Structure 1
Amino acid sequence: MSLAFAPARTTTSARPVQARTAPSLPAPQSPAPLRSVPAQHAITPAIEAPATPAPAAPRVRAVPEGTEARGFVLYVGIDEAKALADGTTLHRIVEALRTLTAEVAPSAETYAAVALAPEGAGGRDVDVVRLALQDPAALAKQREGQGTRDDADRHPNGVIIDISRKRVLLDGEAAGLTYKEFELLQYLVLREGRTIDRHELIERLWDADDEAPSERTIDVHVRRLRSKLAHYQDIVRTVRGVGYRFDRHADVSIRQASTPSPDVF
């Protein structure tokens, strides 16, 4: 409640002020309801509330000082057969998670990749996924189990296509492929035995923002890739009128236990 006071009057002359007879007061009545008082006549105590500091943004658990979280990975371990038994598909699971993310955080960006492993590889699905997506803890555990030896570096002859390290060794020597050449070889390797047409290679290996090459450009990339594969170039075979196919030979070793698939949902 605010208290209101009328301003005091002052006289400007020395004349005495005559007393006035106070008028008769009316009979007491019930108190009238309070009325608001103009702000210029209201006196309120000047009490300033203490400044409340803005709450600090909560830190994500296990994020070291001096770093910031930029996103997260949710490993989902399920193969196509289990998804089918549950009445769904891997694609539908991905789309459902994307929809939920868009509802919770519309500004979030998503990227999904399917983890590949040889058929009958065994092990828990989620462990296979963690290795395929190069989870540091899973890789460290794998190295501990295998010791310090690297099978890829102990084969002096033949072709080593090391997808996890993005390199190709020819008889122990690096082939020196460019990024795009390795992406092209990797795409064929991960689809071993299937002929890939040029249109699919363009669609999958070149971003929408990049200038899409022509089918002739694909042929040039394949020819350069083959020249760097030297006497092993026939592992990339031309299927006339269709496209290209990867053919595994007995002297070809592929390390793909810890590599993400280039497939994007």
Structure 2
Amino acid sequence: MSIATIDRAPEAITTPTVPAAPRLRAVPSGTEARGFVVYVGIDEATAAAAGTSLGALVEKIKGVLHEAVPTIETHAAVALAPVGAGGRDVDVVRLALHDPAALARHRHTEEEAPSPKHRTGVVIDISRKRVVLDGDVAALTYKEFELLQYLVLREGRTIDRSELISSLWAVGDDEIPNERTIDVHVRRLRAKLGDYEDIVRTVRGVGYRFDRHADVSIRQASTPSPDFF
């Protein structure tokens, strides 16, 4: 008796394939990633408040990396910035360590920043009752202009507080300052003069004086001012 045999092809043996790691989007074609940087924004005071330090944090991070890959090599760098430098800590760190993306963004921001205003000086226009600072009219009140004008027309002379009060405020005015509150009026005037506030000079223990600078010009009409000065 013959036994018929059926030849069967051996079952195919499949070897599991390891999926390729996804390519980092930040890595251009023709290059390969050789490491990474993690920017950490934290100052020493914040770390101390949390009961740790920058050095201890660095050692913890390095420990985690060495546990994952024992042969890994690491290098830590501390970013330094001037005391009181503003901005988010992580942004300061990225700039200090020359992160390309942060540097590019910083340059772009600088390019968009408005150029500093051209300084043309101060024009005190007595005839038109206005003060022009670098081309812009200062928002002085009528009384603030009177105060400045009184000093300007007496250039070089120190005017005491009592003279300013008696000359610029009349009986019956809603608010008549005393020798202490006249300083408040002068301070408001100076604030509106901005970078040129020092044209109104304080003479300690006496009063105030107008000091003309090279960048200050005064315009007066040929006819006498209608003011009582």
For normalisation by structure 2, the TM-score amounts to 0.46
**TM-score normalised per structure 1:** 0.40
Higher relative contact order (CA 8 A, sep 6+): 1
